[in-house]
């Protein structure tokens, strides 16, 4: 099996290959055809194609010269004001190579930039409009200061649909000569939450073990408990059997190597599938939030999980 990182290997080269963001692709493709575009802001969850689309824009605009005309920076690594004043400014003030009148600076995870760096970026965007366009990528556009947002055309990315992810899985399976059964596909979709990068990473890890990808293998490689096992824990709580619920939870956590925060997220998801009164479900969800907050603050996770299970039992009393 090819040892290349699949995320790079299967990254689209053209607009037609970008999946799940048809509206955004259609509008950005129109900018490329005109060889003119405003500053862009791509906002949305991880693994939905923000970086991919930015690189496709660069490839399609500049053709063979795209590497010389596109500066890619990750703002979470270099997030201070000096990066904006030196790297970005030096690149922005020079003219592009070729017949496109501007260069592109792609700033990934720009919601990690400090407020001072964002203010410096705002001035740079103003001063070098003739020679440079910015594409800003972020998970949370609310963390970007208003003056920058008002200078950009904002595009919202959504998690990839089941159909799009299944198409990507089929393409990978064909190219890598592996078999992915239907249960494994469903498990990958549930685990990823529409994140294509996570799908590719879990698939690559699984393919290193076996060419026959099954649901069991996916859950093992992703270090996530099966929904069925998590539901068993909750069923014991509904039946008011605290000791069995505690034993099952501990066994599941040890078997998959889960942290307290991991298991709480899965418990919260499975609560909605219980056949109990809706008011009880709401009470249980509320307790999940309380336990998660205490864990984040540094409380012992096993004590918090035991307390959480005991509250579940009392709610269903």
Instruction: Write down the H helix ranges in the chain.
Output: 6-9, 22-34, 50-62, 66-69, 81-83, 89-92, 115-127, 146-150, 162-176, 182-192, 196-207, 215-222, 227-238, 242-256, 260-271, 278-296, 301-315
Q: Which two tokens stand for residue 20?
A: 């799940």
* H/E run at residue 41: strand 39-43
**What architecture is domain 227-315?**
Up-down Bundle (1.20)
Q: How far apart are CA 282 and CA 284, in angstroms?
A: 5
What CATH number does the domain located at 21-156 have?
A: 3.40.50.300
* Residue 135: per-residue pLDDT: 92
Extents of the domains making up the chain: 21-156, 162-222, 227-315
* Residue 314: per-residue pLDDT: 94
Nearest to 309 by CA among 254, 249, 255: 249
Distances (CA, A) of 69 to 39, 54, 92, 99: 15, 13, 10, 11
Q: Tens digits of per-residue pLDDT, 47-97?
A: 888 988 999 999 898 888 888 888 888 766 666 666 777 777 788 888 888
Q: How far apart are CA 317 and CA 280, in angstroms?
A: 10
* Residue 307: per-residue pLDDT: 94
| Diameter over CA atoms, the chain | 73
| Residue with the two structure tokens 């069991």 | 216
| Residue with the two structure tokens 């990690």 | 112
> Regarding the domain delimited by 162-222, which CATH topology (the fold level of the hierarchy) does it fall under?
Helicase, Ruva Protein; domain 3 (1.10.8)
Q: Which residues of the chain have pLDDT under 50?
A: 1-4
């Amino acid at each position: 099996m090819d040892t290349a990182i699949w995320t790079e290997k299967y990254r689209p080269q053209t607009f037609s290959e970008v999946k799940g963001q048809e509206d955004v692709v259609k509008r950005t493709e129109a900018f490329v055809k005109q060889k003119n575009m405003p500053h862009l802001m791509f906002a949305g969850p991880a693994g939905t194609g923000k970086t991919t689309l930015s690189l496709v824009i660069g490839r399609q605009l500049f053709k063979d010269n795209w590497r010389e005309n596109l500066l890619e920076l990750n703002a979470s690594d270099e997030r201070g004001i000096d990066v904006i004043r030196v790297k970005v400014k030096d690149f922005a003030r020079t003219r592009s190579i070729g017949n496109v009148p501007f260069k592109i600076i792609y700033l990934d995870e720009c919601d990690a930039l400090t407020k001072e760096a964002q203010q410096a970026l705002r001035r740079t965007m103003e001063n070098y409009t003739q020679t440079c366009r910015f594409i800003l990528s972020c998970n949370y556009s609310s963390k970007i200061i208003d003056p920058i947002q008002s200078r950009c055309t904002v595009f919202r990315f959504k998690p990839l649909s089941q159909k799009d992810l299944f198409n990507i899985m089929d393409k990978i399976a064909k190219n890598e000569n592996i078999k992915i059964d239907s249960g494994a596909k469903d498990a990958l979709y549930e685990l990823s939450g529409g994140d294509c990068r996570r799908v590719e990473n879990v698939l690559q890890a699984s393919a290193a073990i076996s060419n026959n990808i099954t649901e069991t293998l996916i859950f093992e490689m992703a270090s996530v408990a099966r929904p069925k096992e998590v539901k068993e824990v909750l069923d014991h709580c509904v039946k008011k059997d605290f000791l069995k619920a505690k034993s099952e939870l501990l066994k599941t956590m040890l078997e998959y190597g889960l942290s307290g925060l991991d298991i709480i997220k899965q418990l919260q998801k499975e609560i909605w599938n219980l056949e109990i009164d809706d008011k009880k479900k709401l009470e249980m969800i509320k307790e999940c939030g309380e336990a998660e907050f205490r864990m984040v603050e540094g409380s012992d996770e096993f004590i918090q999980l035991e307390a959480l299970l005991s509250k579940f039992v009392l709610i269903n009393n």
